[in-house]
Amino acid sequence: MLAEYILTEEQKAIKEAAREFAEKEFPNYVEECDREEKFPFELWKKAAQLGFIGMSIPEEYGGQGLGILDSCLVVEEFWRVDAGVGQIVGTVFGSEQITLFGNEEQKKKYLPPLAKGEKICAACYTEPQAGSDVAGIKTRADKDGDEYVINGTKMFITNGSIADYYIVLARTDPNPPKRHHGMSVFLVEREREGVQANKLKNKLGIRANDTAEVVFKNVRVPKENLIGEEGKGFYQTMIFFNVTRIPVAFQAVGLAQGAFELAYHYARNREVFERKLADFQVTQEKLAKMRTELEAARLLAYQAAYFQDKMGMPDPGLTAMAKYYTAKAAQFIVNEALQIHGGYGFMGEQHISRMYRDVRILEIYEGTREIEMEIIGRSLLGKVPSRLGAVRKHPLQ
């Protein structure tokens, strides 16, 4: 509904093309990839050939140079059909560090194969003892001549066991004046000696999306693999998360849209007590609340993406607000959708039950809901640069 009013004709075409691709191709992979917890390489290649991968990568480096709203429209449509295989668009995850902070040589070398669907990237930030607390990482990158030697373990890494490139946050100063100082970002190629990836299994949801523990043991990389400035890694990573939280908001909107559609049509066709389920007031109230939450969530997601495209950089407060609210709305909508399905929704083979498993990740990765709330609060108080802090004084105060 919203798309009809604020999207350009080109954006509408992108959204429709993504929808057609997902509806046609995803059903061939969804159940098998979820059951066997495997990444759909064939589907990823098809998506890359049609230009759905790396859309925001600049044209001069093999991408399409489109705005984040354009690429997020694909995310929304892919997650509407299925969250697990819909994560194929995430094979460039981490490359934002190269685009934002990399030098010309790094961009020319590493971005084109990602945009073409020839290579896969993984962002390595989380550690066994440091998730939301990025400043708590222990991974070290010690300088040795013209090289850095990296040692440490990263956990819950998206694309971890299938990646060709790892974007790694590590400490280059073991004794910084402040705990968030002295970190740097490196690109580590998979083939380097000492890199080991261990696939994590039995996840609750998005099982087609690869997740792994990645261990770096005396991994040597040349100084040319440093992305951005030494010691600026924390700053770069915070900007990275402000950018990548926007696609997560669109994941939530897409998943919520799919769940609402399932519930709506089930209610319209299911008969109980010799009446259509949708004819009961309690069902109508559920559907009304679900649709209202969905549209409100979509507005916040679109606003966050629009602001970044307009200003060139994301607004941390607005981005956190979009991710927090869309994830919360998706949880509510999926939960109500399953309730409408009743016992049939509880059965594991039903699509809505898979959505129920998948939706839970949205309030965890890219910053937990608690972290998002803290960012919103700090933005309101002016402690984080955000338009949310521009609150006028009431005239009667």
SS (H, E, C) the chain: CCHHHHCCHHHHHHHHHHHHHHHHHHHHCHHHHHHHCCCCHHHHHHHHHCCCCCCCCCHHHCCCCCCHHHHHHHHHHHHHHCHHHHHHHHHHCCHHHHHHHCCHHHHHHHHHHHHCCCCCEEEECCECCECCCHHHCCCEEEEECCEEEEEEEEEEEECCCCCCEEEEEEECCCCCCCCCCCEEEEEEECCCCCEEEEECCCCCCCCCCCEEEEEEEEEEEEHHHEECCCCEHHHHHHHHHHHHHHHHHHHHHHHHHHHHHHHHHHHHHCEECCEEHHHCHHHHHHHHHHHHHHHHHHHHHHHHHHHHHHHCCCCHHHHHHHHHHHHHHHHHHHHHHHHHHCHHHHCCCCHHHHHHHHHHHHHCCCCCHHHHHHHHHHHHCCCCCCHHHCCCCCCCC
**Using one digit for the tens of pLDDT, what is the confidence trace for 323-337?**
999 999 999 999 999
CATH architecture of 235-389: Up-down Bundle (1.20)
* Residue 4 pLDDT > 80: no
* Parts of the chain belonging to CATH 2.40.110.10: 121-230
* Residue 1 pLDDT > 80: no
Which of the four pLDDT bands, split at 50, 70 and 90, describes residue 2?
Answer: low
CATH architecture of 3-115: Orthogonal Bundle (1.10)
Task: Record the tokens describing residue 27, joined without a space.
Answer: 């059903």
* pTM for the full predicted model: 0.96
* Residue 92 pLDDT > 70: yes
* Parts of the chain belonging to CATH 1.20.140.10: 235-389
**Using one digit for the tens of pLDDT, what is the confidence trace for 245-272?**
999 999 999 999 999 999 999 999 988 8
* Residue 130 pLDDT > 90: no
CA separation, residue 126 to residues 86, 87, 95, 152, 223 (Å): 22, 19, 17, 11, 23
Please state, rounded to an integer, the average pLDDT across all residues of the chain. Answer: 95
* Residue 117 pLDDT > 90: yes
* Parts of the chain belonging to CATH 1.10.540.10: 3-115
Query: Which residues are tagged catalytic?
Result: 366
Least confident range of 91-100, 241-250, 386-395: 386-395
* Residue 3 pLDDT > 70: no
Integer Cα distance of 253 and 244 in angstroms: 15
pLDDT, position 274: 81
Which of the four pLDDT bands, split at 50, 70 and 90, describes residue 8?
Answer: very high
CATH architecture of 121-230: Beta Barrel (2.40)
Average pLDDT on 349-377 reads: 93
Integer Cα distance of 121 and 93 in angstroms: 6
* Residue 95 pLDDT > 80: yes
* Residue 6 pLDDT > 90: no
